[in-house]
Structure 1
Amino acid sequence: MKALKALIVFFIFTGISFAQDAKVEANKVTQKEVAPIWPGCEDSKETKDCFNSKMNAFIKENFTYSQDADGNWVRGKSTVSFTVDEEGKIINVETEGPEAIVNKEVERVVKSFPKLKPGLRGDTPVTINYTMSFNF
């Protein structure tokens, strides 16, 4: 009978011990990550929304629709990927889409983005990769 009680106590404490280990693992402290910030959005409470609206306004203002050899406006979808480096500069711009002339214009506009406040991990600037699709 004593052996049975000892065995039950052993299983209870072993179970509690494992549960505590799992809690410790689940409560690890991680560093906060902050996305790059568009100029003028530094004091905004919603930096993501501000980033998107400022970027969209920039694209609308700077994108030039192209014409083909027949004088028709060229429209299409383009997917662009780029990196915001540790200094807030736009690098590694690549475009993909069926209309080469649209891709070229998207690349030009993205490369002309203003210098951003870089993304952070903790207090350290880090590179952040973006991929976006645009329909023109």
Structure 2
Amino acid sequence: MEPKKNPQQDLNKKSSMYFVFGLLLVLAMVYVALEWKSFESDRHIDEAMNTNESEIEEDLVEKFKIEEPEVKQVLPQEIKIEENDAEIEETEVISSEADPETEVLEATDLEVIDVPDEVEVNWVTIEEVPVFPGCEDEKDKRACFNDMMQKHIRKNFRYPELAQEMGLQGRVSTQFIINKDGSIGTIQKRGPHELLENEAARILSKLPKMTPGMQRGTAVKVPFSIPITFKLQ
């Protein structure tokens, strides 16, 4: 059976050539459109150039005319001289150097006042340790003191939320002073982060007033050290 179409007259053979030709034509038109330039009329430039120079100068002189400031004459104030008969008291300067008439005090004439030093006795060597409230009747007051301290820490312990979010944990070494009146004095702390240190100091600041420690029958300051551990579950 013979084909109905003539292969020599098939238009699809040259379709790619026609496509390339059309694409080049479109690109040429776009290039001409982008490179097209238009210029404004120079009529206003000519009008400005034809302006009379004398008119411009007159306008500038009127606009920038400088007014001279009025100078006011200022007269000096009248100076009055008044007589003052008041007497002037002279300051007498007394020499601090010793002379033959200077009285010299002997050592026996001086009163010596003894100022007692602040005594601080170590927790281990003190004769009578401070007594935590509730341990007055206990025989071993040291052990009772340690137990009551642990209870106080567990009762007032609050793990800082920000420290939990940051994943902070560790041991905070603390030391505080039990004053001669039984109050809590200076609190020192050292730990892995300031948030944990501040929480440890807050717990110790809530300690109750205690019976002060005694050394040779006298109330003394007693330092006490205890670690507080912060551990995430």
Q: Could you say whether these structures have the same fold, taking a TM-score greater than 0.5 normalized by the shorter chain as the test?
A: yes
CA-CA distance at 1:124 after TM superposition: 1.0
Q: Deviating runs (4+, > 2 A) in structure 1? A: 67-75
Partner letter of residue 88 of structure 1?
G
1:127 corresponds to 2:217: no
Match of 2:192 in 1: 98
Could you tell me the TM-score, scaled by structure 1's length?
0.71
Q: Distance in 2 between matches of 1:103 and 1:76?
A: 10
Contact 1:67 1:73 in 2 (8 A): no
Contact 2:213/2:220 (<8 A) preserved: yes
> What SS is found at the alignment partner of 1:68?
helix
Paired position in structure 1 for 2:181 = 87
Matched AA of 1:60: R
Match of 2:161, SS? coil
Identity %: 30
Deviation at 1:35, TM superposition (A): 0.9
Gaps of 5+ in 1: 1-31
Question: Would you say how many aligned residue pairs link Structure 1 and Structure 2?
Answer: 105
The answer for the alignment partner of 2:172 in structure 1 is: 78
Q: Aligned letter for 2:153?
A: I
User: Which amino acid in the other structure matches residue 178 of structure 2?
Assistant: V
Aligned residue in 2 for 1:55: 149
Provide the rounded CA distance (Å) in 1 between the counterparts of 2:164 and 2:147. 34
Aligned to 1:35: 129
Pair 1:45 & 2:118 matched:
no
SS in structure 2 of the partner of residue 83 of structure 1: strand
Q: TM-score, structure 2 length as denominator?
A: 0.43
Q: Following superposition of structure 1 onto structure 2, how do residues 97-116 of structure 1 map, counting pairs within 5 Å?
A: 97-116=191-210
The structure with the largest alpha-carbon Rg is: 2
Aligned to 1:13: none
Larger strand percent: 1
Structure 1 position 131, deviation (Å): 2.1
What is the CA RMSD across the aligned residues, in angstroms?
Answer: 1.7
Could you tell which deviates more after superposition, 124-133 or 82-91?
124-133
Measured after TM superposition, the shift of residue 99 of structure 1 is 1.6
**Do the aligned partners of 1:77 and 1:97 also contact (CA within 8 Å) in 2?**
yes
5+ long unaligned stretches in structure 2: 1-125
TM-superposed CA distance for 1:94, in Å, is 1.2
> Residues 66 and 102 of structure 1 are in contact (CA less than 8 Å); yes or no, is this contact kept in structure 2?
yes
Partner of 1:117: 211
Q: Cα offset for 1:54?
A: 0.8
Q: Is the 8 A contact 1:66 1:74 kept in 2?
A: no
CA distance in 2, matches of 1:47, 1:41: 6
CA drift of 1:68 comes to: 2.3
